[in-house]
Amino acid sequence: MHAIATPKPTLLFAIASDDVEQVRKVLESGDAGPNDQVGPQSALAFALTNDNLTHKNEIVKALLAYGADPAALRDPNLNPAPHTPLADESDVASFIDHPPPATTLEGMDPATRYFVSRADAAHTRQTSQLIHRSFFRPLTRVRYDVVGQDRALEQLFRVLSTHSQRLSVTPIVVLLCGPSGHGKSLLARKFGSLLDVPTHTVNMTTLRSTHDLWQSYSMSPYEEPSSNTLAQFLLDNEGKQCVVVLDEIEKTENEKALWSLLMPWELGRCSLEAGKRHVDVRNVVWLGTSNIGHDLVFQYHESRSDPDAPMTREEYSDLTSQLRPRVSQCLGASLLSRVTTVLPFVPFSLDEKKAICAEAIYTLAGDAVRTMLPRDIELMVMKALPGYFPAEGARSLYRAVSNQLVDYV
């Protein structure tokens, strides 16, 4: 007699441990898949119905980021309904089957509802296909770190798809433009970590000359401390995939400091010092963040018939065409002509603001979250929404939630 092989319940243990990193580690290793069954349920349904999880929202996002299919929540074989007995418990016909409330959109908090709906949207699946077979595929997970900016991500994936198919011979240069607090720096920060490639972040406000650019140290608190300058970083990663983030690029004191970017952005070659050999930077992805055009973004947003609705592709394309001349005026036509794409970051829709507020509650409330009922979270979100200031973005919502929590505690 042969023993029946059973799959290792590593994903079940990872989810039940309430440890987001363990869930990611299991999924990354391939020991389990995001759509595996955990007992009678899909992994996604198991996480949503587990009331003992303090980090439920983060675990659900991790499952979605690695490909968990929300359609499983509508499948009674993967999301079995609890049997609710009526008056006569001996009558089998007195049981009514309904999906567990926590697995329905109506039973989710605003953040979980937003991310599950996002993963289930046809638009999400279509744009993910653009880079499905490329080196950049892990970037699809950024949707579960950054709220909103669907059109910016769609255009970014199109650019990366073109580059992956060798339909473009110039390096990738992307400018993320628009108001503060809407995800530009977060996307730039996640770019390298999701691809698992080295990243060097330059604080462009400190530059005074072209020499300062190459001698600048990485200034991001989210990266491993390094004593390497940008020049040394490019030499160490010559010919390899890596990311250089130019933060607040328009705030460079002397615009001449940007001139040294002309050759690497056009030819993929970099002259770090006069008389020295050129360095191969063709595989560097250059990401610039900027507030250029934030007033234009707000004006365009308010002129729409329904500002609270997500922006359509046509609207986003129109906004981009209006923004590019602004960027050219600020940075110069010569530099902009070498930029692959300019991506406007736009104000949040109503559902996106609700999701941010709910995530702020989970982040700021600590252990108090355990005592909060879904209706408490929903009520706090609604009270925090008026505190949204477009010019401050998500920061204003976090502040509003913080004030609500003081009253709640």
280 and 239 Cβ atoms separated by less than 8 Å: yes
What is the SS3 assignment for 38? strand
Decide if 261 contacts 240 (C-beta within 8 A).
no
Residues forming a β-bridge with 288 = 175, 246
Rounded Cα distance, 298 and 179, in Å: 8
Q: How far is CA 361 from each of CA 65, 84, 198, 390, rounded to the nearest angstrom?
A: 21, 32, 32, 20
Q: What is the pLDDT of residue 167?
A: 55
The predicted pLDDT at position 84 comes to 57
What's the rounded Cα separation, in Å, for the pair 136 and 133? Answer: 8
CB-based burial, 16-47: b 16+ in 10 Å, e otherwise: bebbbebbbebbeeeebebbbbbeebbbbbbb
Res 237: pLDDT: 92
Residue 157's SS3 state is: helix
Place of tokens 């110039």: 170
DSSP 305: S
Of the candidates 259, 288, 261, which has an alpha carbon nearest to the alpha carbon of residue 178?
288
Question: Tens digit of pLDDT per residue, the chain (409 long)?
Answer: 444 444 455 888 899 998 999 999 999 888 888 988 888 889 999 999 988 888 899 999 999 999 999 998 988 888 887 765 544 554 444 335 688 888 888 889 899 999 999 999 988 888 888 888 788 888 899 999 999 999 999 999 988 888 877 755 678 999 999 999 999 999 998 998 888 899 999 988 888 777 788 888 888 766 676 788 899 999 999 888 899 999 999 988 877 888 889 889 988 888 776 657 788 888 899 999 999 999 999 999 999 988 888 888 999 999 999 999 999 999 989 999 999 999 999 999 999 999 999 999 998 887 777 777 778 888 999 999 999 999 999 999 999 999 988 876 6
Nearest to 36 by CA among 57, 55, 61, 11: 11
What does the pLDDT read at residue 233? 92
DSSP string, 164-216: HTT---SPEEEEEES-TTSSHHHHHHHHHHHHT--EEEEEGGG--SHHHHHTP
The whole-model pTM stands at 0.86
What's the confidence (pLDDT) of residue 99? 85
pLDDT of residue 5: 42
DSSP line for 223-261: SPP---BHHHHHHHTTTS-EEEEEETGGG-SSGGGGGGG
Instruction: Look at the block and give the residue holding tokens 């609500």.
Output: 404
Alpha-carbon distance of 362 to 112, in angstroms, equals: 11
Which tokens in the block code for residue 238? 């010559």
* Chain mean position to CA 311: 17
pLDDT of res. 223: 67
Query: Which token pair is 225?
Result: 């401390």
Tracing tokens 């934030």 back to the chain, one arrives at: 294
Question: Positive or negative CA dihedral for 364, 370, 371, 377?
Answer: positive
Sign of CA dihedral 232, 338, 248, 199: negative
User: What is the DSSP secondary-structure string of 326-360?
Assistant: HHHHHH-HHHHTT-SEEEE--PPPHHHHHHHHHHH
* Other C-beta atoms lying within 10 Å of the C-beta of residue 280: 18
Instruction: At 325, list the tokens.
Output: 């001349």
**Per-residue model confidence (pLDDT) at position 9:** 54
Count the neighbouring beta carbons within 10 Å of the beta carbon of residue 287: 27
What pLDDT, on a 0 to 100 scale, did the predictor assign at position 83? 62
CB neighbours of residue 334 within 10 Å: 12
SS3 label, residue 127: helix
- Please give the sequence-ordered ranges of beta strands (E in DSSP) within 101-163, or none if there are none: none
